[in-house]
Amino acid sequence: MTIGIIAISLLFMLIGMMVQFQLKSKFTEYGKVATSSGLSGKEIAEKMLRDNGIYDVQVISVDGFLSDHYDPVKKTVNLSADVFEGRNISAAAVAAHECGHAVQHATAYSMLMLRSKLVPVTQISTTLSQWIILAGLGVMGFGGGSQTILLIGILLFAVTTLFTIVTLPVEFDASARALKWLEGTNLTTSVEHDKAKDALKWAALTYLVAAVSSVAMLAYYIMIYSGRNRD
């Protein structure tokens, strides 16, 4: 039982590390290829926002590598320094992708709205679910085990899993909007567009691995619960 949990965790941790390595490699590679437009990530982001009729979102620079994200509460497109100042394919792809989320927000894209509603409960479930599951299993000194407590932990973990699943269409759609806009505005050549698409593909894979990992772990917990009920 415990060995199974550890095995699944290690397997997907390894896969996740491999995808992350490839992602960083691609962004570093394409970060050395200048775009023909010569626009910085900041300029690309501001143009995409304007082209979509969005004027109440600010583009700002934040610390970190691949720390880029859109904040729907503050209405800011947060770009890492390399992306904010960069005039390369990686910067263009990331800046446009984050603006894709801003467009989703402005158009009330259903899956983004659902994900936003799940954030508060997901924060709680992520913090508590593993501890409650361990207590329910009665392993590693966490109590004597309880089917009721285990079920509560599984239900909490299911919320986290749902969040990872809902995140997938949100991320895929943001990339699709970014690539369509980049192509439509001719800010990237066909070769540059293919490289931007490749970079965003690897970024999307990180979310896919997280979702599959969570589903696999949830299925394993349910199997344990069902097995104990039969016993």
| Residues contacting 210, CB < 8 A, separation 6+ | 16, 164, 167
Handedness of CA 196, 164, 162, 97 (dihedral sign): negative
SS3 of residue 182 by DSSP: helix
Contact 41, 85 (CB under 8 A): yes
DSSP annotation of 34 reads B
Residue 52 and residue 101: Cα distance in Å, rounded?
12
Which residues belong to the active site?
98
Crossing angle for the helix pair 147-184 and 110-137, to the nearest 10 degrees: 150
| Calpha distance 191→171 (Å, rounded) | 23
The number of beta carbons lying within 10 Å of the beta carbon of residue 194 is: 13
Tell me the C-alpha distance between 207 and 199, whole Å. 14
